[in-house]
A and B are shown apart, each in its own frame.
Chain A
Protein backbone atom coordinates (compact mmCIF):
# COMPACT_ATOMS: atom_id res chain seq x y z
CA UNK A 1 0.00 0.00 0.00
CA UNK A 2 2.97 2.26 -0.42
CA UNK A 3 1.75 3.64 -3.75
CA UNK A 4 -1.25 5.85 -4.43
CA UNK A 5 -1.84 4.63 -7.97
CA UNK A 6 -0.48 1.45 -9.48
CA UNK A 7 -1.03 0.73 -13.16
CA UNK A 8 0.36 -2.56 -14.43
CA UNK A 9 0.57 -3.65 -18.05
CA UNK A 10 -2.71 -1.97 -18.95
CA UNK A 11 -3.86 -2.32 -22.56
CA UNK A 12 -7.10 -1.23 -24.13
CA UNK A 13 -8.23 -1.09 -27.72
CA UNK A 14 -11.37 0.32 -29.26
CA UNK A 15 -11.82 -1.68 -32.44
CA UNK A 16 -8.66 -1.12 -34.46
CA UNK A 17 -7.46 1.74 -32.25
CA UNK A 18 -4.95 0.75 -29.61
CA UNK A 19 -5.73 3.42 -27.03
CA UNK A 20 -3.43 2.00 -24.34
CA UNK A 21 -0.49 -0.29 -24.92
CA UNK A 22 1.00 -2.03 -21.86
CA UNK A 23 1.08 1.03 -19.67
CA UNK A 24 3.01 0.74 -16.39
CA UNK A 25 2.98 3.54 -13.84
CA UNK A 26 3.34 3.83 -10.12
CA UNK A 27 2.50 7.12 -8.45
CA UNK A 28 3.53 7.77 -4.86
CA UNK A 29 1.26 9.28 -2.23
CA UNK A 30 1.61 13.05 -2.14
CA UNK A 31 3.00 13.36 -5.65
CA UNK A 32 1.91 16.05 -8.08
CA UNK A 33 2.06 14.01 -11.25
CA UNK A 34 1.63 15.17 -14.82
CA UNK A 35 0.24 13.01 -17.59
CA UNK A 36 1.04 14.60 -20.93
CA UNK A 37 0.60 13.65 -24.54
CA UNK A 38 -0.90 14.83 -27.81
CA UNK A 39 -4.60 14.52 -28.65
CA UNK A 40 -5.61 10.89 -28.78
CA UNK A 41 -2.55 9.66 -26.88
CA UNK A 42 -4.74 7.77 -24.41
CA UNK A 43 -4.68 10.05 -21.36
CA UNK A 44 -8.43 10.11 -20.87
CA UNK A 45 -8.68 6.38 -21.54
CA UNK A 46 -6.10 5.72 -18.82
CA UNK A 47 -7.98 7.94 -16.36
CA UNK A 48 -11.25 6.25 -17.30
CA UNK A 49 -9.71 2.85 -16.65
CA UNK A 50 -8.59 4.07 -13.26
CA UNK A 51 -12.10 5.33 -12.51
CA UNK A 52 -13.76 2.11 -13.68
CA UNK A 53 -15.47 3.82 -16.63
CA UNK A 54 -13.42 1.77 -19.08
CA UNK A 55 -12.53 -1.87 -18.60
CA UNK A 56 -9.01 -2.65 -19.77
CA UNK A 57 -8.39 -5.63 -22.03
CA UNK A 58 -5.33 -6.56 -20.01
CA UNK A 59 -3.60 -5.41 -16.88
CA UNK A 60 -4.63 -4.20 -13.46
CA UNK A 61 -5.06 -0.83 -11.79
CA UNK A 62 -5.32 0.05 -8.15
CA UNK A 63 -5.94 3.17 -6.10
CA UNK A 64 -4.42 3.30 -2.61
CA UNK A 65 -3.96 -0.44 -2.77
CA UNK A 66 -7.53 -1.22 -3.85
CA UNK A 67 -8.03 -2.94 -7.18
CA UNK A 68 -10.43 -0.89 -9.30
CA UNK A 69 -12.35 -3.98 -10.43
CA UNK A 70 -12.39 -6.48 -7.58
CA UNK A 71 -12.42 -3.88 -4.79
CA UNK A 72 -14.16 -1.12 -6.71
CA UNK A 73 -16.06 0.39 -3.81
CA UNK A 74 -12.97 1.12 -1.77
CA UNK A 75 -11.03 2.19 -4.86
CA UNK A 76 -13.68 4.71 -5.91
CA UNK A 77 -13.93 6.18 -2.42
CA UNK A 78 -10.22 7.00 -2.64
CA UNK A 79 -10.50 8.67 -6.04
CA UNK A 80 -11.86 12.01 -7.22
CA UNK A 81 -12.02 12.53 -10.98
CA UNK A 82 -12.62 15.79 -12.82
CA UNK A 83 -13.78 14.64 -16.26
CA UNK A 84 -12.50 16.29 -19.42
CA UNK A 85 -15.98 16.78 -20.88
CA UNK A 86 -17.94 19.71 -19.49
CA UNK A 87 -20.88 17.73 -18.12
CA UNK A 88 -23.56 18.84 -15.68
CA UNK A 89 -27.04 17.90 -14.53
CA UNK A 90 -29.43 20.63 -15.74
CA UNK A 91 -32.09 19.76 -13.17
CA UNK A 92 -30.17 20.96 -10.14
CA UNK A 93 -28.52 23.95 -8.53
CA UNK A 94 -24.82 24.00 -7.69
CA UNK A 95 -25.42 23.18 -4.04
CA UNK A 96 -27.93 20.44 -4.84
CA UNK A 97 -25.45 18.86 -7.25
CA UNK A 98 -22.78 18.79 -4.56
CA UNK A 99 -25.11 17.43 -1.88
CA UNK A 100 -26.30 14.70 -4.21
CA UNK A 101 -22.74 13.83 -5.17
CA UNK A 102 -21.84 13.59 -1.47
CA UNK A 103 -24.77 11.25 -0.95
CA UNK A 104 -23.58 8.96 -3.74
CA UNK A 105 -20.40 8.53 -1.74
CA UNK A 106 -22.42 7.72 1.37
CA UNK A 107 -21.80 11.07 3.07
CA UNK A 108 -24.77 12.65 4.80
CA UNK A 109 -23.95 15.96 6.45
CA UNK A 110 -21.35 17.48 4.24
CA UNK A 111 -22.39 21.12 4.32
CA UNK A 112 -19.30 22.46 6.07
CA UNK A 113 -16.94 20.87 3.55
CA UNK A 114 -19.19 21.85 0.63
CA UNK A 115 -19.08 25.46 1.86
CA UNK A 116 -15.31 25.28 2.02
CA UNK A 117 -15.02 23.92 -1.51
CA UNK A 118 -17.44 26.53 -2.84
CA UNK A 119 -15.48 29.28 -1.16
CA UNK A 120 -12.13 28.03 -2.42
CA UNK A 121 -13.36 27.78 -5.99
CA UNK A 122 -15.10 31.15 -5.97
CA UNK A 123 -18.50 29.49 -6.31
CA UNK A 124 -20.19 30.81 -3.17
CA UNK A 125 -22.22 33.49 -5.02
CA UNK A 126 -23.45 30.84 -7.46
CA UNK A 127 -24.40 28.22 -4.85
CA UNK A 128 -28.11 28.54 -5.56
CA UNK A 129 -27.87 29.12 -9.29
CA UNK A 130 -29.18 26.42 -11.58
CA UNK A 131 -26.43 24.54 -13.40
CA UNK A 132 -27.89 25.54 -16.78
CA UNK A 133 -27.43 29.23 -15.98
CA UNK A 134 -23.69 29.00 -15.34
CA UNK A 135 -21.01 29.99 -17.81
CA UNK A 136 -18.63 27.33 -19.09
CA UNK A 137 -15.88 28.28 -16.67
CA UNK A 138 -18.28 28.18 -13.74
CA UNK A 139 -19.51 24.75 -14.80
CA UNK A 140 -15.88 23.62 -14.87
CA UNK A 141 -15.45 24.82 -11.29
CA UNK A 142 -18.49 22.81 -10.23
CA UNK A 143 -16.97 19.73 -11.87
CA UNK A 144 -13.86 20.24 -9.78
CA UNK A 145 -16.01 20.71 -6.69
CA UNK A 146 -17.97 17.53 -7.41
CA UNK A 147 -14.75 15.53 -7.58
CA UNK A 148 -13.76 16.75 -4.12
CA UNK A 149 -16.95 16.24 -2.09
CA UNK A 150 -15.73 12.99 -0.54
CA UNK A 151 -12.24 14.33 0.26
CA UNK A 152 -10.49 11.77 -1.93
CA UNK A 153 -6.81 11.16 -1.15
CA UNK A 154 -6.18 10.82 -4.90
CA UNK A 155 -7.42 13.55 -7.23
CA UNK A 156 -7.24 13.23 -11.01
CA UNK A 157 -7.90 16.27 -13.17
CA UNK A 158 -8.37 15.72 -16.90
CA UNK A 159 -7.63 19.06 -18.56
CA UNK A 160 -9.27 21.14 -15.86
CA UNK A 161 -8.10 24.41 -17.37
CA UNK A 162 -9.19 23.85 -20.97
CA UNK A 163 -10.96 27.04 -22.00
CA UNK A 164 -11.00 28.76 -18.65
CA UNK A 165 -9.87 32.25 -17.75
CA UNK A 166 -6.69 33.29 -15.97
CA UNK A 167 -8.50 33.95 -12.72
CA UNK A 168 -9.92 30.46 -12.43
CA UNK A 169 -6.59 28.93 -13.31
CA UNK A 170 -4.93 30.79 -10.53
CA UNK A 171 -7.61 30.08 -7.93
CA UNK A 172 -7.83 26.48 -9.06
CA UNK A 173 -4.09 25.87 -8.88
CA UNK A 174 -3.77 27.62 -5.56
CA UNK A 175 -6.48 25.34 -4.18
CA UNK A 176 -5.07 22.16 -5.72
CA UNK A 177 -1.60 23.06 -4.44
CA UNK A 178 -3.00 23.45 -0.94
CA UNK A 179 -4.64 20.06 -1.23
CA UNK A 180 -1.37 18.60 -2.45
CA UNK A 181 0.49 20.16 0.47
CA UNK A 182 -2.11 18.64 2.78
CA UNK A 183 -1.10 15.22 1.46
CA UNK A 184 -3.47 14.60 -1.47
CA UNK A 185 -1.98 12.90 -4.50
CA UNK A 186 -2.66 14.88 -7.66
CA UNK A 187 -2.62 13.65 -11.25
CA UNK A 188 -3.07 16.25 -13.92
CA UNK A 189 -3.40 16.22 -17.68
CA UNK A 190 -3.07 19.45 -19.58
CA UNK A 191 -1.97 20.79 -22.93
CA UNK A 192 -0.58 23.88 -21.22
CA UNK A 193 2.96 22.67 -20.74
CA UNK A 194 4.00 25.69 -18.73
CA UNK A 195 1.33 24.75 -16.20
CA UNK A 196 2.65 21.20 -15.98
CA UNK A 197 6.23 22.43 -15.66
CA UNK A 198 5.33 24.71 -12.77
CA UNK A 199 3.11 22.29 -10.90
CA UNK A 200 4.23 18.73 -11.49
CA UNK A 201 7.18 17.14 -9.77
CA UNK A 202 7.09 14.12 -12.06
CA UNK A 203 5.78 13.64 -15.57
CA UNK A 204 4.80 10.77 -17.84
CA UNK A 205 4.42 11.35 -21.55
CA UNK A 206 2.07 9.18 -23.53
CA UNK A 207 2.17 8.70 -27.26
CA UNK A 208 -0.19 6.38 -29.14
CA UNK A 209 -1.04 4.60 -25.90
CA UNK A 210 2.54 4.03 -24.77
CA UNK A 211 4.56 5.69 -22.03
CA UNK A 212 7.44 7.25 -23.97
CA UNK A 213 8.97 9.27 -21.16
CA UNK A 214 8.75 9.06 -17.38
CA UNK A 215 10.94 11.08 -15.08
CA UNK A 216 11.03 13.99 -12.68
CA UNK A 217 10.31 17.31 -14.31
CA UNK A 218 13.82 18.50 -13.43
CA UNK A 219 15.44 15.47 -15.05
CA UNK A 220 13.35 15.76 -18.18
CA UNK A 221 14.30 19.39 -18.54
CA UNK A 222 17.95 18.54 -18.03
CA UNK A 223 17.89 15.68 -20.46
CA UNK A 224 15.93 17.19 -23.27
CA UNK A 225 16.25 20.92 -23.05
CA UNK A 226 19.06 23.44 -22.69
CA UNK A 227 19.64 27.09 -22.06
CA UNK A 228 19.99 29.06 -25.23
CA UNK A 229 21.52 32.37 -25.97
CA UNK A 230 19.46 34.04 -28.66
CA UNK A 231 20.82 37.02 -30.50
CA UNK A 232 20.62 39.14 -33.60
CA UNK A 233 23.82 40.62 -34.94
CA UNK A 234 25.48 42.44 -37.82
CA UNK A 235 28.30 40.62 -39.63
CA UNK A 236 29.59 37.06 -39.78
CA UNK A 237 29.03 34.67 -36.86
CA UNK A 238 32.30 32.89 -35.92
CA UNK A 239 32.46 29.45 -37.55
CA UNK A 240 33.07 27.52 -34.30
CA UNK A 241 29.88 28.99 -32.82
CA UNK A 242 27.80 28.38 -35.92
CA UNK A 243 28.43 24.71 -35.32
CA UNK A 244 25.59 23.53 -33.09
CA UNK A 245 23.64 26.77 -33.46
CA UNK A 246 20.36 27.29 -35.21
CA UNK A 247 19.23 30.28 -37.18
CA UNK A 248 15.75 31.47 -37.90
CA UNK A 249 14.24 34.83 -38.78
CA UNK A 250 17.52 36.67 -38.30
CA UNK A 251 17.95 35.21 -34.78
CA UNK A 252 20.77 32.87 -33.80
CA UNK A 253 20.14 30.33 -31.06
CA UNK A 254 23.26 29.14 -29.30
CA UNK A 255 22.81 26.37 -26.74
CA UNK A 256 24.80 26.43 -23.49
CA UNK A 257 24.86 24.54 -20.22
CA UNK A 258 26.15 26.94 -17.58
CA UNK A 259 25.89 30.66 -17.29
CA UNK A 260 29.70 30.86 -17.11
CA UNK A 261 29.75 29.77 -20.74
CA UNK A 262 27.93 32.90 -21.89
CA UNK A 263 30.73 35.36 -21.39
CA UNK A 264 33.30 33.51 -23.56
CA UNK A 265 30.67 33.14 -26.29
CA UNK A 266 29.96 36.85 -26.30
CA UNK A 267 33.70 37.53 -26.31
CA UNK A 268 34.16 35.34 -29.42
CA UNK A 269 31.38 37.21 -31.16
CA UNK A 270 32.92 40.57 -30.32
CA UNK A 271 36.35 39.38 -31.50
CA UNK A 272 34.82 38.31 -34.80
CA UNK A 273 33.65 41.88 -35.27
CA UNK A 274 29.97 41.08 -34.94
CA UNK A 275 27.80 43.86 -33.58
CA UNK A 276 25.01 42.58 -31.33
CA UNK A 277 21.67 44.23 -32.02
CA UNK A 278 19.39 42.26 -29.71
CA UNK A 279 19.90 39.52 -27.16
CA UNK A 280 17.92 37.28 -24.84
CA UNK A 281 18.42 34.14 -22.80
CA UNK A 282 16.03 31.20 -23.10
CA UNK A 283 15.62 28.74 -20.25
CA UNK A 284 14.98 25.04 -20.68
CA UNK A 285 11.27 24.46 -21.09
CA UNK A 286 8.90 21.55 -21.16
CA UNK A 287 7.64 22.45 -24.60
CA UNK A 288 11.02 21.64 -26.05
CA UNK A 289 11.15 18.42 -24.02
CA UNK A 290 7.72 17.47 -25.26
CA UNK A 291 8.55 18.11 -28.91
CA UNK A 292 11.78 16.13 -28.70
CA UNK A 293 10.17 13.21 -26.92
CA UNK A 294 7.35 13.11 -29.44
CA UNK A 295 9.88 13.16 -32.28
CA UNK A 296 11.22 9.95 -30.88
CA UNK A 297 14.31 10.97 -28.95
CA UNK A 298 14.76 8.64 -26.02
CA UNK A 299 18.01 9.56 -24.30
CA UNK A 300 17.93 13.28 -24.71
CA UNK A 301 20.64 15.19 -26.47
CA UNK A 302 20.76 18.10 -24.10
CA UNK A 303 24.18 18.22 -22.50
Chain B
Protein backbone atom coordinates (compact mmCIF):
# COMPACT_ATOMS: atom_id res chain seq x y z
CA UNK B 1 0.00 0.00 0.00
CA UNK B 2 1.60 3.21 -1.15
CA UNK B 3 1.11 6.90 -0.68
CA UNK B 4 -1.82 6.81 -3.12
CA UNK B 5 -3.69 4.57 -0.71
CA UNK B 6 -2.96 6.66 2.36
CA UNK B 7 -3.98 9.83 0.51
CA UNK B 8 -7.28 8.29 -0.55
CA UNK B 9 -7.88 7.11 3.01
CA UNK B 10 -7.04 10.57 4.34
CA UNK B 11 -9.34 12.22 1.78
CA UNK B 12 -12.21 9.87 2.64
CA UNK B 13 -11.82 10.56 6.37
CA UNK B 14 -11.49 14.31 5.81
CA UNK B 15 -14.62 14.22 3.65
CA UNK B 16 -16.87 13.03 6.47
CA UNK B 17 -15.01 14.93 9.16
CA UNK B 18 -15.61 18.24 7.38
CA UNK B 19 -19.34 17.67 7.72
CA UNK B 20 -19.18 15.99 11.13
CA UNK B 21 -22.43 17.52 12.31
CA UNK B 22 -24.26 15.42 9.72
CA UNK B 23 -22.01 12.39 9.66
CA UNK B 24 -21.16 12.02 13.35
CA UNK B 25 -23.30 14.21 15.60
CA UNK B 26 -26.63 13.40 13.92
CA UNK B 27 -26.34 9.60 14.21
CA UNK B 28 -25.19 9.91 17.83
CA UNK B 29 -28.29 11.96 18.58
CA UNK B 30 -30.52 9.43 16.82
CA UNK B 31 -29.08 6.58 18.89
CA UNK B 32 -29.55 8.60 22.05
CA UNK B 33 -33.22 9.14 21.19
CA UNK B 34 -33.70 5.39 20.64
CA UNK B 35 -32.16 4.77 24.03
CA UNK B 36 -34.34 7.32 25.81
CA UNK B 37 -37.55 6.04 24.26
CA UNK B 38 -36.96 2.28 24.46
CA UNK B 39 -35.43 2.31 27.91
CA UNK B 40 -38.24 4.48 29.19
CA UNK B 41 -40.82 2.01 27.87
CA UNK B 42 -39.07 -1.25 28.68
CA UNK B 43 -36.70 -0.71 31.60
CA UNK B 44 -37.89 -2.67 34.62
CA UNK B 45 -40.11 -4.88 32.47
CA UNK B 46 -37.44 -6.91 30.73
CA UNK B 47 -34.19 -8.51 31.77
CA UNK B 48 -32.10 -10.36 29.19
CA UNK B 49 -29.45 -12.89 30.16
CA UNK B 50 -29.78 -11.35 33.63
CA UNK B 51 -28.82 -7.93 32.28
CA UNK B 52 -31.08 -4.91 32.79
CA UNK B 53 -32.74 -3.79 29.55
CA UNK B 54 -31.00 -0.43 29.19
CA UNK B 55 -27.60 -2.03 29.74
CA UNK B 56 -28.48 -4.65 27.15
CA UNK B 57 -29.68 -2.06 24.66
CA UNK B 58 -26.59 0.21 24.75
CA UNK B 59 -24.10 -2.14 23.01
CA UNK B 60 -26.78 -2.94 20.43
CA UNK B 61 -27.24 0.72 19.62
CA UNK B 62 -23.50 1.29 19.52
CA UNK B 63 -22.96 -1.57 17.07
CA UNK B 64 -25.97 -0.59 14.96
CA UNK B 65 -24.45 2.89 14.63
CA UNK B 66 -21.06 1.44 13.69
CA UNK B 67 -22.64 -0.68 10.96
CA UNK B 68 -25.03 1.89 9.51
CA UNK B 69 -22.42 4.62 9.41
CA UNK B 70 -19.77 2.42 7.89
CA UNK B 71 -22.21 1.58 5.11
CA UNK B 72 -23.28 5.20 4.71
CA UNK B 73 -19.70 6.41 4.40
CA UNK B 74 -18.46 4.35 1.50
CA UNK B 75 -21.78 4.20 -0.33
CA UNK B 76 -22.57 7.91 -0.19
CA UNK B 77 -19.04 8.96 -1.02
CA UNK B 78 -18.98 6.77 -4.11
CA UNK B 79 -22.42 7.67 -5.38
CA UNK B 80 -21.74 11.38 -4.91
CA UNK B 81 -18.47 11.09 -6.78
CA UNK B 82 -20.15 9.17 -9.57
CA UNK B 83 -23.12 11.49 -9.93
CA UNK B 84 -21.00 14.65 -9.83
CA UNK B 85 -18.32 13.06 -12.02
CA UNK B 86 -15.39 13.76 -9.71
CA UNK B 87 -14.80 10.00 -9.45
CA UNK B 88 -12.35 10.60 -12.33
CA UNK B 89 -9.93 12.14 -9.83
CA UNK B 90 -9.41 8.71 -8.28
CA UNK B 91 -9.71 6.75 -11.52
CA UNK B 92 -7.02 8.68 -13.41
CA UNK B 93 -4.14 8.16 -10.93
CA UNK B 94 -2.15 4.93 -10.60
CA UNK B 95 -4.20 3.64 -7.65
CA UNK B 96 -4.65 -0.14 -7.74
CA UNK B 97 -8.06 -1.70 -7.16
CA UNK B 98 -6.73 -3.19 -3.94
CA UNK B 99 -5.69 0.22 -2.62
CA UNK B 100 -9.02 1.65 -3.75
CA UNK B 101 -10.93 -1.02 -1.84
CA UNK B 102 -8.77 -0.78 1.28
CA UNK B 103 -9.03 3.02 1.44
CA UNK B 104 -12.83 3.16 1.09
CA UNK B 105 -13.41 0.30 3.54
CA UNK B 106 -10.95 1.58 6.14
CA UNK B 107 -12.44 5.07 5.99
CA UNK B 108 -15.86 3.46 6.49
CA UNK B 109 -14.53 1.61 9.55
CA UNK B 110 -13.10 4.86 10.91
CA UNK B 111 -16.45 6.61 10.50
CA UNK B 112 -18.27 3.66 12.09
CA UNK B 113 -15.89 3.54 15.04
CA UNK B 114 -15.99 7.32 15.55
CA UNK B 115 -19.80 7.34 15.58
CA UNK B 116 -19.91 4.15 17.70
CA UNK B 117 -17.57 5.71 20.25
CA UNK B 118 -19.72 8.83 20.25
CA UNK B 119 -22.84 6.76 20.90
CA UNK B 120 -21.07 4.86 23.68
CA UNK B 121 -19.92 8.08 25.34
CA UNK B 122 -23.40 9.61 25.07
CA UNK B 123 -25.25 6.55 26.40
CA UNK B 124 -22.93 4.90 28.94
CA UNK B 125 -24.22 7.22 31.68
CA UNK B 126 -27.67 5.66 31.59
CA UNK B 127 -26.84 2.15 32.75
CA UNK B 128 -23.90 0.07 34.01
CA UNK B 129 -21.78 -1.66 31.33
CA UNK B 130 -19.35 -4.50 31.92
CA UNK B 131 -16.53 -4.31 29.37
CA UNK B 132 -15.83 -7.93 30.35
CA UNK B 133 -13.89 -8.86 27.20
CA UNK B 134 -12.73 -5.72 25.37
CA UNK B 135 -10.97 -7.71 22.67
CA UNK B 136 -14.30 -9.10 21.43
CA UNK B 137 -15.69 -5.56 21.42
CA UNK B 138 -12.85 -4.34 19.23
CA UNK B 139 -12.79 -7.36 16.91
CA UNK B 140 -16.52 -7.30 16.17
CA UNK B 141 -16.64 -3.52 15.76
CA UNK B 142 -13.79 -3.58 13.24
CA UNK B 143 -15.00 -6.59 11.31
CA UNK B 144 -18.62 -5.46 11.28
CA UNK B 145 -17.56 -2.03 10.12
CA UNK B 146 -15.46 -3.56 7.36
CA UNK B 147 -18.33 -5.79 6.18
CA UNK B 148 -20.76 -2.89 5.97
CA UNK B 149 -18.08 -0.64 4.48
CA UNK B 150 -17.57 -3.25 1.81
CA UNK B 151 -21.32 -3.53 1.19
CA UNK B 152 -21.31 0.26 0.90
CA UNK B 153 -18.64 0.04 -1.80
CA UNK B 154 -20.77 -2.49 -3.71
CA UNK B 155 -23.91 -0.38 -3.35
CA UNK B 156 -22.10 2.84 -4.28
CA UNK B 157 -20.66 1.27 -7.41
CA UNK B 158 -23.85 -0.50 -8.42
CA UNK B 159 -26.29 2.38 -7.87
CA UNK B 160 -26.53 4.94 -10.64
CA UNK B 161 -28.88 7.28 -8.86
CA UNK B 162 -29.49 8.27 -5.27
CA UNK B 163 -32.87 6.51 -5.15
CA UNK B 164 -31.28 3.19 -6.12
CA UNK B 165 -28.87 3.60 -3.24
CA UNK B 166 -31.78 4.46 -0.94
CA UNK B 167 -33.52 1.26 -2.05
CA UNK B 168 -30.42 -0.80 -1.25
CA UNK B 169 -30.32 0.87 2.15
CA UNK B 170 -34.02 0.60 2.95
CA UNK B 171 -34.64 -2.92 1.70
CA UNK B 172 -31.40 -4.60 2.68
CA UNK B 173 -29.30 -2.73 5.22
CA UNK B 174 -32.08 -1.42 7.46
CA UNK B 175 -33.95 -4.74 7.81
CA UNK B 176 -30.69 -6.60 8.41
CA UNK B 177 -29.59 -4.23 11.15
CA UNK B 178 -32.97 -3.80 12.81
CA UNK B 179 -33.88 -7.51 12.74
CA UNK B 180 -30.66 -8.54 14.36
CA UNK B 181 -31.27 -8.31 18.07
CA UNK B 182 -30.35 -4.68 18.64
CA UNK B 183 -33.46 -4.10 20.70
CA UNK B 184 -34.11 -7.61 22.00
CA UNK B 185 -32.60 -11.03 22.51
CA UNK B 186 -33.59 -13.36 19.71
CA UNK B 187 -34.33 -15.96 22.40
CA UNK B 188 -37.45 -13.94 23.13
CA UNK B 189 -38.68 -14.45 19.57
CA UNK B 190 -40.98 -17.23 18.35
CA UNK B 191 -38.99 -20.23 17.02
CA UNK B 192 -39.59 -19.35 13.37
CA UNK B 193 -38.11 -15.87 13.72
CA UNK B 194 -35.27 -17.26 15.78
CA UNK B 195 -34.42 -19.49 12.82
CA UNK B 196 -34.61 -16.54 10.45
CA UNK B 197 -32.34 -14.46 12.66
CA UNK B 198 -29.72 -17.18 12.61
CA UNK B 199 -29.38 -16.54 8.89
CA UNK B 200 -28.76 -12.85 9.45
CA UNK B 201 -25.02 -12.18 9.66
CA UNK B 202 -25.67 -8.87 11.42
CA UNK B 203 -27.15 -10.83 14.32
CA UNK B 204 -23.71 -12.42 14.90
CA UNK B 205 -21.95 -9.08 14.72
CA UNK B 206 -24.18 -7.58 17.39
CA UNK B 207 -24.30 -10.71 19.51
CA UNK B 208 -20.51 -11.08 19.51
CA UNK B 209 -20.04 -7.39 20.19
CA UNK B 210 -22.42 -7.55 23.12
CA UNK B 211 -20.62 -10.59 24.46
CA UNK B 212 -17.59 -8.36 24.97
CA UNK B 213 -19.61 -6.21 27.38
CA UNK B 214 -21.43 -8.81 29.46
CA UNK B 215 -19.73 -12.13 28.81
CA UNK B 216 -23.09 -13.66 27.90
CA UNK B 217 -24.76 -13.86 24.50
CA UNK B 218 -27.24 -15.81 22.40
CA UNK B 219 -24.53 -17.55 20.39
CA UNK B 220 -20.97 -18.44 21.30
CA UNK B 221 -18.60 -15.60 20.36
CA UNK B 222 -16.36 -18.07 18.54
CA UNK B 223 -19.28 -19.18 16.44
CA UNK B 224 -20.12 -15.54 15.73
CA UNK B 225 -16.51 -14.82 14.86
CA UNK B 226 -16.49 -17.69 12.35
CA UNK B 227 -19.66 -16.41 10.67
CA UNK B 228 -18.48 -12.80 10.59
CA UNK B 229 -15.00 -13.67 9.32
CA UNK B 230 -16.47 -15.84 6.56
CA UNK B 231 -18.82 -13.04 5.50
CA UNK B 232 -15.96 -10.56 5.47
CA UNK B 233 -13.78 -12.86 3.37
CA UNK B 234 -16.56 -13.54 0.85
CA UNK B 235 -17.56 -9.90 0.54
CA UNK B 236 -13.97 -8.78 0.19
CA UNK B 237 -13.39 -11.26 -2.61
CA UNK B 238 -16.61 -10.23 -4.34
CA UNK B 239 -15.92 -6.51 -4.07
CA UNK B 240 -12.33 -6.86 -5.22
CA UNK B 241 -13.55 -8.76 -8.23
CA UNK B 242 -16.00 -5.97 -9.11
CA UNK B 243 -13.26 -3.38 -8.78
CA UNK B 244 -10.76 -5.41 -10.73
CA UNK B 245 -13.20 -5.71 -13.60
CA UNK B 246 -13.91 -1.98 -13.37
CA UNK B 247 -17.62 -2.81 -13.01
CA UNK B 248 -19.62 0.39 -13.71
CA UNK B 249 -16.55 2.50 -13.05
CA UNK B 250 -14.59 1.93 -16.23
CA UNK B 251 -16.97 1.58 -19.17
Show the binding face of A for B, using Cβ within 8 Å: 14, 48, 51-55, 72-74, 76-77, 79, 81, 83, 85, 87-92, 100-101, 103-108, 146, 150
Contact = CB atoms under 8 A, between A and B. Distances in A.
A88 B84 CA distance: 8
B92 A81 contact: yes
B166 interface: no
Given A76-B93, A100-B11, A53 B4 contact: no
A183 to B, nearest CB: 21
B94 interface: yes
A89 B86 contact: yes
A85 B4 CA distance: 24
A81 B84 CA distance: 17
A146 B7 contact: no
Contacts of B8: 103-104
A14 B251 contact: yes
Interface string B92-113: 1111100000000000000000
Given A100-B7, A104-B4, A106-B3, A53 B91 contact: yes
A55 B250 contact: yes
B10 A103 contact: yes
B88 interface: yes
Contacts, number: 80
A101 B92 CA distance: 10
A91 B15 contact: yes
B62 to A, nearest CB: 27
Contact of B7 (A53, A55, A79, A103): A103
Contacts of A72: 94
Contact of B96 (A48, A73, A79, A105): A73
A106 B8 CA distance: 11
A104 B89 contact: yes
29 contacts: A48-B251, A52-B91, A52-B92, A55-B246, A55-B251, A73-B94, A73-B96, A76-B92, A77-B94, A81-B88, A83-B88, A87-B84, A87-B85, A87-B89, A91-B18, A100-B10, A100-B11, A101-B89, A101-B93, A103-B8, A103-B11, A104-B94, A104-B95, A105-B4, A105-B93, A105-B94, A106-B3, A108-B3, A146-B89
A79 B19 CA distance: 33
A108 B96 CA distance: 18
Interface of B: 2-4, 6-8, 10-11, 14-15, 18-19, 81, 84-86, 88-96, 246, 250-251
Contacts of B250: 52-55
Given A104-B89, A104-B90, A105-B4, 7 more contacts: A51-B92, A76-B94, A85-B85, A87-B84, A87-B85, A103-B6, A106-B3
A226 to B, nearest CB: 42
B122 to A, nearest CB: 26
Nearest to B16: A91
B94 A53 contact: no
Contacts of A81: 88, 92
Contacts of A89: 81, 84, 86, 89
The residue in A81, A103, A146, A150 that gathers the most chain B C-beta atoms within 10 A of its C-beta is A103
A100 B15 CA distance: 12
B86 A87 contact: yes
A91 B16 CA distance: 9
B4 A103 contact: yes
B86 A104 contact: no
B104 to A, nearest CB: 14
Contacts of B18: 91
Ranked nearest first, the 4 interchain pairs of A and B with the lowest CB-CB distance are A103-B7, A104-B93, A73-B94, A87-B85
Contacts of B91: 51-53
Contacts of A100: 7, 10-11, 89
A90 B15 CA distance: 10
Nearest to A85: B85
A91 B92 CA distance: 19
A106 B4 CA distance: 5
Contact of B92 (A53, A55, A74, A90): A53
Contacts of B246: 55
A14 B251 CA distance: 9
Nearest to A149: B93
A51 B7 CA distance: 20
Given A55-B250, A104-B93, A88 B3 contact: no
The residue in B6, B89, B95 that gathers the most chain A C-beta atoms within 10 A of its C-beta is B89
Contacts of A74: 94
A238 B79 CA distance: 69
Contacts of B84: 87-90
Contacts of B95: 104
B96 A104 contact: no
B88 A103 contact: no
